[in-house]
Structure 1
Amino acid sequence: MGFDLDLLLIFDEIYKTGNVTRAAANLGLPQSTVSLGLGRLRSHFNDRLFSRTAKGMVPTPRAQNAIAEVRRAVQALQHALADQPVFDPAASTREFRICMTDISEVVLLPHLLNHLRQTGPGIRVEISKISQDTPAGLADGGVDLAVGFMPHLEAGFYQQVLFDQHFVCLAAASHPRVGAALSREALLRESHIRVLTSGTGHAIVDKILAAEGIERKIALKLPSFLSVARIVAQTELLAIVPFRYASEVASSEAVRLLPLPVELPRFQVKQHWHERYHADVSNRWLRQSVANLFAD
């Protein structure tokens, strides 16, 4: 098994802190990434390396014997990486390939493009839709980054939480029967739009509503969220959508955001990437730009 710098840093940080959560925070990595890294280290060394005790994660004799070599390897790699060229976005003509949900195209993409115009006017972007093929695209190098709510990318990829989301109801500003609040009766009575997204987890809406004994009257099914706001504004149909999407479209369409009379689960929008691009300087710059723009 090959080692990268992150694995060695994970070893060293757990050794220093005796705590996986604290090690993740110090390294700026998700706890899940550090836990996966520890699993890879244990497999390589064929040893637990750190045993959980009342005093924290205590190094085994194997870890104690290896720590000096690990730290020497970290220093050597950091010295070698220090000679890497710095990515200059202002001079770059690189094309980034980003997979997005259709909601991210509406909510995030315009802001990202405006940022790139200011910081890297020669940079080009190719957008593709999130699908069940996205993990393979990230792994084989066809995709640099995936952004959105994508439960099927939770395992096996680096990830960073950008912000939390919750659901609201979108209604026309002039809707004749829906006022400032949406009752359970109105939710049942009115006709709805359902978006047939795939791979983004929005099917949870109907599952939770069904558990609450609510079956929506679906009058229109759409393949994406791109036209939802315009249709809602010009009809009497309702749509259950993520809050940031609703906030974004409310600035350009005659729609209202209404709290739902039932509680739906919150979810997290993240950016995901494969380990092959983890250390690439241009991809690191892109991920940092996305985090600076959108992270809560």
Structure 2
Amino acid sequence: MDLKLLAVFDEVYKTRSVSRAGENLDMAQSSISIALGRLRRHFGDPLFVRTSEGMQPTPHATTLVAPIRQALQLLRGITRQQAAFEPSKAHRTFRICMTDISHLALLPALINRLRDVAPSINVEITHISAQTPKMLEAGEADLAVGFMPQLEAGFYQQKLFDQDFACVVRREHPRVHSRLTRNMFKRENHVVVTAAGTGHTLVEQELERLGVRRNVALRLPNFLGLGGLVASTDLMVTVPQRVAEALLRIADVKALPPPFELPVIAIKQHWHDRYQQDPANRWLRSVISDLFLE
């Protein structure tokens, strides 16, 4: 049993995919299949069964994953086979969980930077959800970027920037001009975007604390089409500042400061402590943090 077979087992277990395991290990799909065949013969078990949801582990594979990962960690430390990550030569896919704010504030700059320094690296984005902590822990995602106060024990974090809020209405709104007052805010009909990581719960809590009731005419699950919606109606929406800046670029709208102080949210990148010293993960974190220090 050599180290590469154990690495193949671990990567297929994490990704539930032969092709993704090959990408991450820089191995051909056929080589991954051959390695799986050797593993199955050695353990006398199918280990992974192809289903509609990918390569699912058998009960025996589930019992093997913890000792195999311990063995990998020990072997890599003893043999020093964990080489430094070379982004210019690497062929792999990073999987990042993001909120809508991160899509707007980070993704374009990240893609441009990767094309310059790591042209063979690809990125796969998934949305922040209740499964994000488990995905980070299992290695199914490399990073999570956004406003995620629920990530606590077992996770590292680094603040990228602070984010305040703005109120957005169409440019020629008949009642809201260059200044927004409390009475205007309470009088208008509002859109509320309920996507995770938008800070909308904090806004609602603060409005309740201030005794401000707003007329919520529409609730949306995400920011998709929000610019066109606001630009063609008299609705008002309160969104993080960077979302407001993106809406200003794509729609005929204007952004105004809220008529009262709202909480500031911290946008952070999060990773599991298993990957604190992983060279590839460390490199990706440094690229993302550098984008906000420039």
Same fold (TM > 0.5): yes
SS in 2 for 1:91: coil
* Structure 1 position 175 matched with structure 2 position 173: yes
Mapping 1:112-123, distance limit 5 Å: 112-123=110-121
Asked if the contact 1:101/1:147 (under 8 Å) is kept, the reply is: yes
Match of 2:247 in 1: 249
1:93 aligns with 2:91: yes
Q: How far is 1:81 from its partner?
A: 10
Contact kept? 2:199, 2:265, Cα under 8 Å: no
Look up the match of 2:142. 144
Once residues 80 and 158 of structure 2 are traced to their aligned partners in structure 1, the CA distance between those partners, rounded to angstroms, is: 24
- The Cα shift of 1:229 comes to 2.2
Alignment identity in percent?
Answer: 49
In 2 relative to 1, CA 228–259 (structure 1 residues): closer, same or farther, beyond 3 Å?
A: same
> 8 Å contact 1:163–1:295 — kept in the other structure?
no
TM-score normalized with structure 2 length? 0.70
Q: Secondary structure at 2:88's aligned position in 1?
A: helix
Distance in structure 2 (CA, Å) of the matches to 1:200 and 1:143:
21
- CA gap of 1:81–1:262, structure 2 versus 1, over 3 A, is farther
The residue aligned with 2:66 is: none
Which of 177, 192, 195 is residue 194 of structure 1 equivalent to? 192
Partner residue of 1:282?
A: 280
User: In structure 2, how many angstroms separate the alpha carbons of the residues matched to 1:153 and 1:140?
Assistant: 15
Number of residue pairs the alignment of both structures matches? 218
Q: Which residue of 1 aligns with 2:204?
A: 206
Residue identity matched to 1:122: S
SS of residue paired to 1:96: strand
Q: Which runs of 5+ in 1 are unaligned?
A: 1-78
Q: Secondary structure at the match of 1:210?
A: helix
- 1:232 CA displacement: 1.3
Number of the residue aligned with 1:226: 224
* Segment of structure 1 superposing worse, 139-148 or 250-259: 250-259
Note the C-alpha offset of 1:205: 0.9
Offset of 1:278 from its aligned partner? 1.1
Contact 1:152/1:199 (<8 A) preserved: no
Per-residue deviation at 1:200? 5.3
Task: Give ranges in structure 2 of 5+ residues lacking alignment.
Answer: 1-76
Q: Provide Cα deviations, 1:39-82, integer angstroms capped at 9, x if missing partner.
A: xxxxxxxxxxxxxxxxxxxxxxxxxxxxxxxxxxxxxxxx9899
CA contact (8 A) 1:97 1:142 kept: yes
Displacement of 1:140 in angstroms is: 1.0
Are the counterparts in 2 of residues 161 and 295 from structure 1 also a CA contact under 8 Å?
no
Cα distance in structure 2, aligned partners of 1:252 and 1:129:
22
Per-residue CA distance 1:145-193 (angstroms, 9 max, x = gap): 0000011014431000000111111111111110111110110111111
Residue 106, structure 1, aligned to residue 111, structure 2 = no
Indicate yes or no: 2:292 matched with 1:294. yes
Distance 2:182 2:206 in 1: 14
CA–CA distance in 1 between the matches of 2:227 and 2:268?
23
- Provide the rounded CA distance (Å) in 2 between the counterparts of 1:295 and 1:157: 22
| 1:253 to 1:200, Cα distance in 2 relative to 1, 3 A | closer
Confirm or deny: 8 A CA contact 2:146 2:197 kept in the other structure.
no
CA distance in 2, matches of 1:200, 1:180: 25
Q: Displacement of 1:110 after TM fit?
A: 1.5
Q: C-alpha deviations, 1:71-118, integer Å up to 9, x for none? A: xxxxxxxx9899853322222221001000122112211111111112
Determine if contact 2:168/2:237 at 8 Å carries over to the other structure: yes
Give the residue type in structure 2 aligned to 1:263.
E
Greater shift in the superposed pair: 157-166 or 254-263: 254-263
* Cα deviation 1:259-278 (Å, max 9, x = unaligned): 11111111100000001111
SS in 2 for 1:99: strand
